[in-house]
Structure 1
């Protein structure tokens, strides 16, 4: 089964962390993945819509591509509630002491 080109493009971006679209296109061409510019742009757009990458313009002809990392916010109240529930559960067993 062949791996979709979109997965290959995402893997190259993830391995690099961040790079320009020109550099990415050169890497793909060097490895034998030749495609039209329209298809390349469509793949980048699909990955951005899926929330996997972030594309921003550097200059008129060059874009910066980076892996999108969503920071997970920790709710302190939920963490405290979770800890209390765990302590109450453990305390419900007879003879349990910590």
Structure 2
């Protein structure tokens, strides 16, 4: 197997769970028939973390928590101005509803 499908499979498991420990992830992968060497497993986690897809933090000395990164999308300033202008135009299209 190439590394890309492995990485995708591992990410899908994490995404489905939302958050899990490294031990839970290894068990889940084993149930699916994927047994990874520890160095390969760590490399995949590192790659996913570098790509910004997951966050790995230590819970205890031997246990890591793995969770999907929440990516906040920045709204483009142009899009924000456009949206505000469209809202103003929409409100202005009702001439008889001015505040008293």
Report the counterpart of residue 29 of structure 2 in structure 1. Answer: 28
* Count of residue pairs brought into register by the alignment: 89
The offset of 1:30, in angstroms, is: 1.4
Gap regions ≥5 residues in structure 1:
91-96
Cα 1:76–1:35 shift into 2, 3 Å:
closer
Cα 1:75–1:37 shift into 2, 3 Å:
same
Identify which range, 41-50 or 66-75, moves more after superposition.
66-75
The offset of 1:70, in angstroms, is: 1.9
User: CA-to-partner distance for each residue in 1:43-93, whole Å, 9 max, x for gaps?
Assistant: 0000000000000000010000000002235589963x2122x37888xxx
Gap regions ≥5 residues in structure 2:
95-100
| Counterpart-to-counterpart distance in 2, 1:52 and 1:87 | 35
Moved >6 Å (runs of 4+)? 75-78, 87-90
Report the counterpart of residue 70 of structure 1 in structure 2. Answer: 71
User: What are the within-5 Å matches in structure 2 for residues 1-98 of structure 1?
Assistant: 4-73=5-74, 79=80, 81-82=81-82, 83-84=84-85, 86=86
Cα 1:73–1:87 shift into 2, 3 Å:
closer
